[in-house]
Amino acid sequence: MPIESLFAAARAVRDRAYAPYSGFQVGAAILTRNGHTYLGCNVENAAYPSGTCAEQAAISAMVAAGEKEIAAIAIAGSAPETCFPCGACRQRIREFADGDTKVIAGGTLGAERVETTLDALLPHAFGPEQLPGLSGLEG
Ligand code: THU
C-alpha cells in the first residue's frame, strides 16, 4: 500500500476517535510486512490517565489478528501541526518494528507531513533482543 493511502486510512479513522477531554483526535494505520492494514484511534476517559493512544489501539488490533511485524505506521492528528507519536508509543512501536520501519506523521495540513524512521524517533532503543535468553521470542 502506498504511503499516501496509509496516511489517508489514519486520517479516516481519526474521525472515530473519542477525545472529548483534550479535543485532540488521533488516527493510526499500521501496514504489516504481510501487507495488511490495522487501524486505531485514541479513546479518552473521564479518569484521564485511563485514556489510550491511537497507535496503541492499532498495535492491539494487529496483534489480535495474529500479526507482529510493522513495516510502516501512519499517524494523523486533528491539529494543523505534525502529530508525532508520544514517547510511550515510540516504545510500543519498537516492540514490533525495526529501526528502518517507516513512520509517517501528519496533522490536518499536508505540508506538515513528515516521513521518518523509528530509529530517528527512538535512537539506541531498548527492545526484546536486549533481554537475555528471550532473543527467540515467538508466538
Ligand atoms: N495521542 C495519541 O493518540 N497518540 C499520540 O501519539 C499523541 C497523543 C492522544 C492521547 C490523548 O487522547 C490526546 O492525543 C491528547 O494528548
Boundaries of every domain in the chain: 3-130
Instruction: Classify burial at 124, counting beta carbons within 10 Å of its beta carbon; exposed 0-12, middle 13-18, buried 19 or more.
Output: exposed
Ordered per-residue pLDDT tens for the chain, 139 residues: 788 899 999 999 999 999 999 999 999 999 999 999 999 999 999 999 999 999 999 999 999 999 999 999 999 999 999 999 999 999 999 999 999 999 999 999 977 899 999 999 999 999 999 998 765 556 5
Q: 3-130 has which CATH code?
A: 3.40.140.10
Residues 6+ apart with CB under 8 A from 68: 62, 96
137 Cα to the center of ligand 1, angstroms: 29
Model pTM score: 0.94
User: Is 44 assigned a catalytic role?
Assistant: no
What's the gap in Å between 16 CA and the centre of ligand 1?
A: 14
Residue 16 exposed, middle or buried by CB count within 10 Å (0-12, 13-18, 19+):
middle
Distance of alpha carbon 118 from the chain centroid? 10
